[in-house]
């Protein structure tokens, strides 16, 4: 499970290589991981804890089948979504090889830019919008057939 957690957090942080960075930004997701035909469901919470020496400290907590893991990462402000980038992404979605889509997730009905991904043996789609951490939904499958699916349940912008 640790490998899955590390991969998921890396993918999300890579996907959020640009979210409105503010201390207290929180995003909560439902997540389903399917590995070798076995499905596991749980939750993922990401929060910007603080900023020290120009770096944001991001805490990711994943709970899968009753097991909780916490990972802390430090990111430069330019490595997180900014309001300007999300605005540009939504205004010029096709330039990012994406497609505008209005989707329904537990957090509500949200206008997004759905961008196909193909990184390190994983293909799928990430739906971006003006939400904390920028990611509304993600559906990714590895070459081995393992799948990670998550959707936004709630979010809150920090201070």
In the sheet where 38-52 sits, what is the strand order?
Answer: 67-75, 55-64, 38-52, 26-35, 147-156, 135-142, 122-128, 108-119, 99-105
Give the CA distances from residue 126 to residues 24, 49, 79, 82, 93, in Å, rounded to whole numbers and listed in that order: 23, 24, 17, 17, 12
Which domain does 20 fall in, by range?
2-156
Tell me the pLDDT tens digit for each residue of 31-56.
Answer: 999 998 899 999 999 999 999 999 99
Can you give the pLDDT at residue 119?
85
Number of compact structural domains in the chain: 1
Task: Report the alpha-carbon distance of residue 153 to residue 128 in Å, rounded.
Answer: 14
pLDDT tens-digit series, residues 133-145: 999 999 999 988 9
pLDDT for res 13: 45
At 14 the pLDDT is 46
Please check whether residue 142 is in contact with residue 34, taking contact to mean a CB–CB distance below 8 angstroms.
Answer: no
């Amino acid at each position: 499970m640790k490998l899955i957690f590390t991969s998921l957090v890396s993918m999300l942080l890579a996907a959020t290589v640009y979210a409105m960075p503010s201390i207290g930004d929180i995003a909560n997701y439902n997540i389903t991981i399917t590995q070798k035909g076995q499905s596991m469901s749980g939750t993922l919470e990401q929060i910007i804890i603080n900023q020290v020496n120009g770096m944001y400290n991001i805490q990711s907590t994943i709970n899968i089948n009753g097991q909780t893991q916490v990972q802390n990462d430090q990111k430069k402000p330019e490595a997180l979504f900014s309001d300007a980038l999300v605005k540009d992404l939504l205004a010029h979605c096709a330039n990012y090889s994406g497609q505008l889509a209005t989707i329904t997730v537990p957090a509500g009905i949200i206008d997004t830019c759905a961008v196909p991904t193909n990184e390190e043996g994983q293909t799928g789609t990430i739906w971006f919008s003006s939400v904390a951490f920028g990611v509304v939904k993600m559906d990714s499958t590895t070459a081995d057939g393992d799948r990670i699916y998550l959707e936004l349940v709630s979010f809150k912008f920090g201070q």
